[in-house]
Amino acid sequence: MCGIAGIIHKKENTASAENVERMLNTLTKRGPDDSGVHTSSQCTLGQTRLSIIDLNTGHQPIVDGDLSITFNGEIYNFKELRSEFESKGHIFKTNSDTEVILKAYREYGQECPKHLDGMFSFAIWDDAKKELFVARDRFGKKPLFYTEKDSYFVFASEIKALFKSGILEKDCINKEALDDYFHFGYILPDKTIYQNIYPLLPAHTGTLIDGVFSTTRYWALEKKELDISYEDAKKKVRELLENAVQKRMLASDVEVGALLSGGVDSTYVSYLAQKHLNHPLKTFSVGYDWHKNELPFAEQASKIIGTDHYPLSVSADLKEELKTVIKYLDEPHGDTSNFPQHLISKLTSEHVKVVLTGDGADELFMGYGWYQITKYMPRWRLDWKILNSFQAYQKAISIFKKRMRKKIIKDYTPSNSVYKKIFKNLQDPSHKINIFDLSVYLPSQLLTKIDRTSMMHGLEARAPFLDTDLAEFVYNLPTSFKMEGTKNKIILKDLLAEIFPKEFVYRKKQGFGAPIDQWLGEEKMREFVHTTLESENLMYSFIDKTSVLKIRDGFYAKKRNHSYKLWLLLSLALWFEYHEDTIL
């Protein structure tokens, strides 16, 4: 796992190594073990490295003739690909998965990502053709951002590096992204908080040819519902998940641990991981003592599996830890579990470099309660506008309603165009929710959170549930195998119930949300909130201060339950405070 960066001059080589080295200085947390820079005509590539595979000869960027590459991620099938390419006459200088990508590019050109099984963002420069090729993994586990200014094309793993390139010093705030933030609590995957900085979308490649950058989608989940019995489906899910875990265990020259929340997903992953070890798997969990505390369940799971368990109860200074994580985040991100995730990542990184997670299971197996929201929402919450579960879902996930967003964002009129872009001709409400979860919520909320909070501590997080073969199979299982009535994640829970006690498996889902009502009500936090929101913050160049203070006062007067709204406003104000120097 690494941090990557590069500068391409579209006409001549004026991008010096010093520019990219400054970019790399902002990415050392992503790659604390090594760094390197390679310059060729018109292009300078750089990389900071977290050494996981080929610890001795895997220095990057790697150069092979006219091709050079900088790569962030892990390729789980690199050994199989290497054998294939060696049989075709390719000669390897290293034992790394990075060099395998270069050979794949020689063999398959721009189709090479289709042959890669893993998580990745990478850039390949062809010095003979004077062309750049970039790619990002299917679900968007690894980030890649880019900008174009004058004759330059600049890219990096994190936005902060772009501002250190010497080419882009500041940028304008994107009000559409602010609208996303107030709507969902995070920014959608097709934009950033800045007007002229863009993400390469998940499952996309990009090419810079003759100074023109264009992108292409190379993969998407396709709905082809399977005709299969429930028992055969269970057997196949078990087999695919076991393979997914095994691949992620074997593709490492360092010890692998697991995040074990005590929920179904992480418990099953930890159980399967332990099967591949002759010593106890190191597992890690975090809890809040008195709020949705799953630490006892994590410890119970650890005992059954036989892991070496490290629990963490959140008792740190909330204010300081919140500051720490928001300073690191390049964009506003309102998840209340950001800083607990940062704390558990910090603890985990003190023991292992690689950790398995349960991310992706809820999205694939329809594990959220909002799939049944119309049936189980109180009748007084159901009005004539809610006609199906997707419309109810839209209502439930909207933090600031459209009318309020129009009022709070200065000189801006919100739209709901995001739904038109994503769903087009989809009709089935549950399918529409599932697509939103997989294509928006997963990459923008969950994967962004785990990538940033783990990599700020030099920890690599791997998600077996997002294995391509497993995801494509589960996506096309009959909905009744995953969700029916009040039940969800049916097939996954039934698999775990073959190993674990039924009362453990079928208990009510608690989630990872933090007790923000209580936190915001604490005296120290209350003072902090007032001081932060009363200040002459740059946020108020874009946000209506009167509306902000009204929400704050309503919460503390206990007139309205505005806790999540207030949390988003506090987080946004802190983000503006710590990122003033990047905003025009």
Alpha helices in 130-220 (DSSP H): 159-162, 175-184
Q: Return the number of other C-beta atoms located less than 10 Å from residue 524's C-beta.
A: 11
* Residue 412 to residue 178: CA distance in whole angstroms: 10
Backbone angles phi, psi at 46, to 5 degrees: -140, 160
DSSP code per residue over 150-163: TTEEEEESSHHHHT
Copy the structure tokens of residue 71. 């790569």
Copy the structure tokens of residue 200. 């390469």
In contact, 363 and 438? CB cutoff 8 Å: yes
Q: Return the number of other C-beta atoms located less than 10 Å from residue 86's C-beta.
A: 12
DSSP code per residue over 444-497: IIIIHHHHHHHHTTT-EEE-GGG-HHHHHHHHTS-HHHHEETTEESHHHHHHHT
377: helix, strand or coil = coil
Q: What is the largest CA-CA distance in the chain?
A: 73
* Residue 306 to residue 295: CA distance in whole angstroms: 16
Q: 3-state SS of 227-280?
A: CCCHHHHHHHHHHHHHHHHHHHHHCCCCCEEEECCCCHHHHHHHHHHHCCCCCC
The strand pairing partners of 149, in sequence order, are 152
Q: Assess whether 2 carries a catalytic annotation.
A: yes
Copy the structure tokens of residue 72. 């962030």
Query: Which residue from 40, 18, 332, 4 is spatially nearest to 167, judged by alpha carbons?
Result: 18
Dihedral over Cα of 419, 425, 431, 435: its sign: negative
* Residue 169 to residue 88: CA distance in whole angstroms: 46
* Residue 5 to residue 16: CA distance in whole angstroms: 13
Radius of gyration of the chain (CA): 24
Alpha helices in 336-467 (DSSP H): 338-349, 361-364, 373-376, 389-397, 402-408, 417-423, 429-436, 448-455
DSSP H helix total and E strand total for the chain: 25, 19
Catalytic hit among 2, 43, 112, 172: 2
Separation in Å, CA 501 to CA 169, 272, 352, 407, 505: 57, 17, 29, 51, 6
| Active-site residue set | 2
